[in-house]
Amino acid sequence: MASGTLYTYPENFRAYKALIAAQYSGAQVKIADNFVFGETNKTEEFLKKFPLGKVPAFETKDGNRLTESNAIAYYVANEQLRGKNEVEKAEILQWLGFADSEILPASCAWVFPLLGIMPYNKQTIEHAKEDVTKALSTLNIHLLSKTYLVGDRITLADISVAMTLLQLYQYVLEPKLRQPYVNVNRWFQTIVNQPQAIAVIGNFKLADKTLEYDPKKFQAQSGKSKKEREHKEKKEQPKKEKESKKKEAEPAEELDAADEALAEEPKSSNPFDNMPKGTFNMDDFKRSYSNEDEAVSIPYFWEKFDPENYSIWIGEYKYNNELTKTFMSCNLIGGMFQRLEKMRKQAFASCCLFGTDNDSSISGIWVWRGQDLAFTLSPDWQIDYESYKWTKLEPSSEKTKELVNQYFSWTGTDKDGRKFNQGKIFK
Ligand SMILES: N[C@@H](CCC(=O)N[C@@H](CS)C(=O)NCC(=O)O)C(=O)O
């Protein structure tokens, strides 16, 4: 029987395919411990095994590796799910292709902007809605006289197509929008209410109301300057956002992007250049933080910190009640960091996400050169900062010491007692 380790973030609809298939077959699928999306899948160790750095990814107990959610689901499935004859097997492949080509791009184009993880473009969304309509109409006709997509039992076709429709039914297909597709609705409910599906995705709730576009969620993307976009395109390689606690990289390497951004501008355009350097060496501290345990790097920070020329701040996200999935909140933090390239030279931050899905908060401790709110120094740094409440901390106070220790070591709770969940380092 198939067994192995699945690398994924929680609630990944692509990973659900394999997890549900495994419920049918009894395959032993262990979800990798401590997987942090955007970090674990960008490590050298992960990329050596799975060069695209994408999830889900699967490693069998014998060390064979698989990517592509459909292939993983196929591997962990059983005979029933794979189809009982050649025609059924081919039909299943047909529906897997249909899900990936006809549903998925349109679903992402419609849902992701509403979740704030893709730019909003009305025309793109209208086009996506048309594509979803075509796909649902096709399915509706097919399911008029059929209980399942292929044959007379559930197969991988049902699992893959239903999982690809999941976000549409969850976020946008409110009753009025799904009403024309009675056969698809009936079939979808049948699939997601199978005990094997419930064991993975829980009790699924159909959308009551289409999620509304919220520019605040989206502002991080829409406010990007042309220059930043060009810069990002140039660096198509996975960003060296090596904030992981594994700390495998030297800060010098991590500063590449900052150096590039600086090189694009005349030197004097970096606001930090006009400020006294003081005695605190940001690079040395970053090196210590990257390479040594916090038991060493935090005392090092306090020993070297120069309160006359550098300041410490706490930034608290203002819209915590709008945070939903924790992986999306982490993307929000990561996005902000990416848009602050030039600031990296003389700034450091540890931002933490506390809590769990639908009950979380974001806050971070920031250190930068100068005594004023650094974001006001350059228009390039002003995309995200207004979404946070900024408070300057008194470096000599015990309270500041406690906060710095907590945020630098990724421990403790937020003000409301939510436990530390994930952290990201800006350096
Ligand atoms: N066709 C692939 C798509 C995998 C994929 O795009 N995964 C996304 C997350 S759901 C990912 O890992 N992205 C990380 C990246 O692009 O760096 C599948 O079905 O497994």
Nearest CA to ligand 1 atom 16: 54
pLDDT score of 38: 92
pLDDT score of 386: 87
pTM to 2 decimals?
Answer: 0.57
Distance 65 CA to ligand 1 centre (A): 15
pLDDT score of 257: 38
| Dihedral, CA of residue 118, residue 124, residue 125 and residue 130, to nearest 10 | -140
Separation between Cα atoms, residue 80 and residue 61, nearest integer Å: 23
| Dihedral, CA of residue 280, residue 283, residue 285 and residue 288, to nearest 10 | -150
pLDDT score of 146: 96
The 3-class SS string of the chain reads CCEEEEECCCCCHHHHHHHHHHHHHCCEEEECCCCCCCCHHHCHHHHHHCCCCCCCEEEECCCCEEECHHHHHHHHCCHHHHCCCHHHHHHHHHHHHHHHHHHHHHHHHHHHHHHCCCCCCHHHHHHHHHHHHHHHHHHHHHCCCCCCCCCCCCCHHHHHHHHHHHHHHHHHCCHHHHCCCHHHHHHHHHHHCCHHHHHHHCCCCCCCCCCCCCHHHHHHHHCCCHHHHHHHHHCCCCCCCCCCCCCCCCHHHHCHHHHHHHHCCCHHHCHHHHCCCCCCCHHHHHHHHHHCCHHHHHHHHHHHCCCCCEEEEEEEECCHHHCCCHHHHHHHHHHHHHCCHHHHHHEEEEEEEEEECCEEEEEEEEEEECCCCHHHHCHHHCCCHHHEEEEEECCCCHHHHHHHHHHHHCCCECCCCCEEEEEEEEC
pLDDT score of 225: 36
Q: Which atom of ligand 1 is nearest to 69's Cα?
A: 20
pLDDT score of 269: 67
pLDDT score of 229: 41
Distance 93 CA to ligand 1 centre (A): 20
Kindly list the averaged pLDDT for each block of 10 residues, start to end, along the chain of length 427: 95 97 97 93 97 98 97 98 98 98 97 88 92 98 97 98 98 97 97 96 95 74 42 40 38 36 48 90 93 92 96 95 86 85 91 94 96 87 87 96 96 95 93
Separation between Cα atoms, residue 421 and residue 413, nearest integer Å: 9
Distance 392 CA to ligand 1 centre (A): 39
Distance 142 CA to ligand 1 centre (A): 29
Separation between Cα atoms, residue 411 and residue 403, nearest integer Å: 10
pLDDT score of 265: 38
Indicate the pairing of strand 388-393 with strand 3-7.
unpaired
Is 69's C-beta closer than 6 angstroms to any atom of ligand 1?
A: yes
Distance 408 CA to ligand 1 centre (A): 30
Q: What are phi and psi of 323, to 5 degrees?
A: -75, 135
Q: Which atom of ligand 1 is nearest to 54's Cα?
A: 12
Nearest CA to ligand 1 atom 14: 54
CA nearest neighbour of 217 among 321, 69, 296, 339: 321
Distance 40 CA to ligand 1 centre (A): 13
Strand partners, 28: 3
pLDDT score of 219: 61
pLDDT score of 220: 54
Is 14's C-beta closer than 6 angstroms to any atom of ligand 1?
A: yes
Structural fold of domain 83-201: Glutathione S-transferase Yfyf (Class Pi); Chain A, domain 2 (1.20.1050)
Is 68's C-beta closer than 6 angstroms to any atom of ligand 1?
A: yes
Is 3-77 in CATH node 3.40.30.10?
Answer: yes
pLDDT score of 117: 84
Residues near 121 by Cβ (< 8 Å), separated by ≥ 6?
113
pLDDT score of 241: 39
Q: Are 36 and 42 spatial neighbours (Cβ–Cβ below 8 Å)?
A: no
Structure tokens at 180: 């024309």
pLDDT score of 193: 96
Q: Which atom of ligand 1 is nearest to 68's Cα?
A: 20
What is the domain partition of the chain in residue ranges? 3-77, 83-201, 216-426
| Candidate CATH numbers 3.30.70.1010, 3.40.50.10880, 3.40.50.970, 3.20.20.70; the one for domain 216-426 | 3.30.70.1010
From 6, 14, 98, give the residue whose CB has the most ligand 1 atoms within 8 Å, as the site to mutate.
14
